[in-house]
């Protein structure tokens, strides 16, 4: 079951870009962890100091291994050196996923494939 982490961390606007520079190596290393499909923190161009967090994990177990590992604790240690004004980060379990575009290249909001259980 896929797990998505999505949300925001608000830093002092003067610090946000520095935080991302200081943590870029940890993001790259985290992407190499078992089950990590995507792991990115990025600046919001419209809200000064806001950083979007997006993670995509193949399973709850893979996310649990990440959260108990040194990349997670190293990230917390680095970002805690800066003033965090607020956070809003949620996790989501995904029971069915499929492409946005169907076989004709048409974007679809509805779910059009048959769900299979692993």
| CATH number of the domain enclosing 67 | 3.30.70.100
Evaluate whether residue 105 is within a structural domain: no
Pick 57 or 112 by higher pLDDT.
57
The model carries a pTM of 0.88
Q: What is the pLDDT of residue 95?
A: 87
- Tokens 């399973």 identify what position? 59
pLDDT tens string 16-53: 999 999 999 999 999 999 999 999 999 999 999 999 99
pLDDT at 117: 56
d(CA 23, CA 80): 12
The number of distinct structural domains making up the chain is: 1
Q: Is residue 28 part of a domain?
A: yes
Q: Is residue 107 situated within a structural domain?
A: no
Burial 31-45 (b: 16+ CB within 10 A, else e): eebebbeebebebee
Q: Read out DSSP for 52-64?
A: EEEEEES-HHHHH
Residue 69 lies in a domain: yes
């Amino acid at each position: 079951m896929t797990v998505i982490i999505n949300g925001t961390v608000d830093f002092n606007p003067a610090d946000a870009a520095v935080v991302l520079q200081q943590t870029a190596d940890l993001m790259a290393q985290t992407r190499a962890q078992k089950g990590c499909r995507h792991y990115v923190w990025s600046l919001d161009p419209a809200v000064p100091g806001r950083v979007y967090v997006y993670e995509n994990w193949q399973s709850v177990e893979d996310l649990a291994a990440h959260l108990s590992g040194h990349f997670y604790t190293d990230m917390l240690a680095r970002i805690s050196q800066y003033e965090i004004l607020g956070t809003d980060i949620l996790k989501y379990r995904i029971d069915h996923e499929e492409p946005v575009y169907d076989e004709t290249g048409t974007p679809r909001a509805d779910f059009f494939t048959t769900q299979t259980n692993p």
